[in-house]
Amino acid sequence: MRLHRESHLVTRIGWLRAAVLGANDGIVSTASLILGVAASGAARPALLVAGVAGLVAGAMSMAAGEYVSVSSQSDTEAADLARERAELAADPAHELAELAEIYVARGLNEETAAATAAQMMAHDALGAHARDELHITTLTAAQPVVAAFTSAATFTVGAALPLLLAALLPMPLMAAGQAAGALLFLALLGYVGARVGGAPPLRATLRVLFWGALAMALTAGIGRLVGTAI
């Protein structure tokens, strides 16, 4: 019998989360930075310098932050697997009973659960406990390098959009154009991210727009206050 191989959206979680986070942060942080500097009355060269510096620093920060944080998850998973491997070697009977209890809790009767646990242990004991006890699978396992490169790349793309606006917009329209452009980019990001992840596009788009608009409004307000004070 030929089995139909399905493609599930959950397989995209590892890179999609990092991609959306990077692009969102790139758009919001760079647009907010440019808006804050523009609100202080600075000229275009200052906006471009601030934008480029924000892009480079942000991309490096995203890469380092994602790698460190996801590596912490990976280290925890490795420690749990090492502990489980030691327990399997020291007391396989107890681990067999533990796995059977998990299957009973999921709805199997005791006889079927015991037989299933025995077969799973014989096939791949550590894999069975990793999946059913620790909830670690190939789909959810931490991937620090993938997360770091994905976030850095999408941050760079996201940050380049408001930076391009800063280079092209007339200075009298800089604040309004930058805000409008950033919101448009965020809406597009929310829609695309939702479609790729199989989520309702409207809710995801509104969520991204709300937090992005709030961040830019606060930054522009602080920039105006500081510019007036100086």
Q: Which long-range contacts (CB under 8 A, 24 or more apart) does 173-177 make?
A: 174/34, 174/38, 174/44, 174/47, 175/35, 175/38, 175/39, 175/220
State residue 1's pLDDT score.
Answer: 45
Report how far residue 59's alpha carbon sits from residue 153's, in angstroms, rounded to the nearest whole number: 7
Least confident window among 48-57, 196-205, 215-224: 215-224
Whether residue 180 contacts residue 48, with contact meaning beta carbons closer than 8 Å, is answered with no
Cα dihedral value 66, 70, 75, 76, nearest 10: 140
Mean per-residue pLDDT, 187-212: 83
Return the residue matching tokens 């991210």. Answer: 193
> 47-71 pLDDT, tens per residue?
999 999 999 999 999 899 889 988 9
Q: What is the pLDDT of residues 108-163, one digit of tens each?
A: 999 999 999 999 999 999 999 998 888 887 766 678 888 888 889 999 999 999 99
26 vs 53, 72, 109, 212, CA distance in Å?
12, 24, 52, 11
pTM of the complete model: 0.74
